[in-house]
Chain A
Amino acid sequence: MTDWTDACATDAIDPEDVVRFDHGGRTFALYRSPDDRWYCTDGLCTHEQVHLADGLVMDHLIECPKHNGQFDYRTGQAKRAPVCVNLRTYETRVDGDRVLVRIG
């Protein structure tokens, strides 16, 4: 399935921040970067399944709130222990004042 899913309003996320987005029994993290781009990853840390939306966004990194592991949310790449497994990422686009996510 490659449909675009309406995730949230563009003003629902502050710059350099993250929100949680649940859809179809799954949970995602939706990011707004400092340069006003939107990104989406799986919502749970690959280390111990903690919601990343409670974490801290610094530039293009998301830091897990439990153990401070870091990912580059643009690529999903694990950047700092204790995370070792990359996050899955999802394509996003903006349509008017809505952020859409392509959930494959």
Chain B
Amino acid sequence: MARRDYSLLGPDAQRAVETGLAAAEWYHTDIPRAEMKALMARTDAPAIRDTAIWLGLMVAFAGIAIWLWPSWWSVPFWLAYGVLYGSASDSRWHECGHGTAFRTAWMNTAVYHLASFMIVRNPVTWRWSHARHHTDTIIVGRDPEIAAMRPPAAARMLLNFAGIPDIIAGLSRMLLNAAGRLDPEEATFVPVSEVPKVILVARIWTAIYAATIALALATQSILPLMVIGLPRLYGAWHFVLVGYLQHAGLADNVTDHRLNSRTVLMNPVSRFIYWNMNYHVEHHMFPMVPYHRLPDLHARIRHDLPAPAPSMWAAYREVLPVLLRQLRHEDAFLRRDLPPTARPYRAEFHADVSAGAPGVPAE
């Protein structure tokens, strides 16, 4: 295959449309309607509980850190606050963007906007971006949310553990939007009717950041920025750590989430921060299922999925060699073997993947 072009305006984007990869019909495990309805059912209680814990811990950690400031004893509390601000906001943005976390619409909307601000993703733009990610998951030239491209941008991937490329892109985009303009790629998936909302949010955010910086200058202290803004950098590592595992090293340009997404079993703390998005094949196959029912969905369909990675460590042991190989040979990828109980991959769509070549057989 020729070198991949991830631009949404480039030749791969055009090729995906021409070959029917764009907006294609994807594989789904069969689940009886009554069971699916039960799994999709919405309730407020789990997300209210989790949101109260999330925001309560943020207030507590930030309060103690401010109280101890500028002592080095404040560092562990900043680090804990940072993960809740810079990483847990990613999963809250995601789940509330889908509208599945709460049953009550305004609760989804409120947490969505708060989390979008923390993670520096315009809530209007990214709603459409993420819709495209679900339509065309890891389709080169169509999916705007591919974190691990081929060949991997190693420096960028490493710097993102400190949030640096993301924050530069996010703030640049915010200022561009606040000036009343959209990036040409954004314009490919944001409807014209939504553009005024994009600009309004960007202007509100710019005002908040300007006020925070002004307060820091007036007080001659970075403390205001330690609370607002900087945690997106010093707390980003966890969402990047778990986020790369979603799709990295797996197949691209396929229409079966079992081939391009990864489920990883994780510790309960990471699952709280990540709101169960470690069940990522399940989420992509059935995005209507709330985060708190994903373990049940996993148990229901695991017979039809590749075996989950038993831990983050095991997953990275699988991913890193493939990424290193992709630096030299970008067509390399990890082929997921299915259990005997699973329905096979559709050879008519995935002949190269099903046959194994040129992938790296899964261990």
Judge whether B100 and A68 touch: CB under 8 Å: yes
A66 and B134 CA atoms in complex are apart in Å by 7
Residues from chain A with Cβ under 8 Å of B128 in the complex: 81-82
The residue in chain B whose Cβ has the minimal distance to the Cβ of A82 is: B131
Query: What distance in Å separates the Cβ of B107 from its nearest Cβ neighbour in chain A?
Result: 14
Q: Is B193 an interface residue (CB 8 A)?
A: yes
Residues from chain A with Cβ under 8 Å of B100 in the complex: 68
Query: What distance in Å separates the Cβ of B131 from its nearest Cβ neighbour in chain A?
Result: 4
Q: Is B127 an interface residue (CB 8 A)?
A: yes
A84 and B193 CA atoms in complex are apart in Å by 9
Judge whether B99 and A68 touch: CB under 8 Å: yes
B residues sitting closer than 8 Å to A (CB atoms) are: 23, 36-37, 40-42, 98-100, 103, 105, 127-128, 131, 134-135, 191, 193-194, 286-288
Residues from chain A with Cβ under 8 Å of B23 in the complex: 48-49
Known contacts A56-B37, A84-B191, A67 near B131 by CB under 8 Å: yes
- Pick 17 A–B contacts, CB within 8 A, sort by A: A48-B23, A49-B23, A56-B37, A56-B40, A56-B41, A56-B42, A56-B288, A58-B42, A65-B288, A66-B287, A67-B134, A67-B287, A68-B100, A68-B287, A80-B105, A81-B194, A82-B127
Judge whether B135 and A63 touch: CB under 8 Å: no
The residue in chain A whose Cβ has the minimal distance to the Cβ of B124 is: A81
Q: What is the size category of the interface that chain A forms with chain B?
A: 10 to 19
Query: What distance in Å separates the Cβ of A32 from its nearest Cβ neighbour in chain B?
Result: 13
Interchain Cβ contacts within 8 Å, total number: 43
A65 and B105 CA atoms in complex are apart in Å by 17
Known contacts A67-B287, A68-B98, A81-B194, A48 near B135 by CB under 8 Å: yes
Which of A49, A54, A58, A67 has the most B CB atoms < 10 Å from its CB? A67
A81 and B288 CA atoms in complex are apart in Å by 14
Query: What distance in Å separates the Cβ of B123 from its nearest Cβ neighbour in chain A?
Result: 10
Query: What distance in Å separates the Cβ of B126 from its nearest Cβ neighbour in chain A?
Result: 11
Q: Given contact pairs A49-B23, A66-B134, enumerate 9 new A-B contacts (beta carbons under 8 Å).
A: A47-B131, A48-B23, A56-B288, A65-B288, A68-B288, A70-B99, A80-B105, A81-B128, A84-B193
Q: Is A17 an interface residue (CB 8 A)?
A: yes
A76 and B23 CA atoms in complex are apart in Å by 23
A65 and B33 CA atoms in complex are apart in Å by 12
Residues from chain B with Cβ under 8 Å of A49 in the complex: 23
Of residues 47 to 66 in A, which have CB atoms within 8 Å of B's CB atoms?
A: 47-49, 54-56, 58, 63, 65-66
Query: What distance in Å separates the Cβ of A49 from its nearest Cβ neighbour in chain B?
Result: 8
Residues from chain A with Cβ under 8 Å of B135 in the complex: 48, 66-67
The residue in chain B whose Cβ has the minimal distance to the Cβ of A83 is: B131
Residues from chain B with Cβ under 8 Å of A54 in the complex: 36
A49 and B22 CA atoms in complex are apart in Å by 13
Query: What distance in Å separates the Cβ of B142 from its nearest Cβ neighbour in chain A?
Result: 12
Query: What distance in Å separates the Cβ of A35 from its nearest Cβ neighbour in chain B?
Result: 18
The residue in chain A whose Cβ has the minimal distance to the Cβ of B105 is: A80
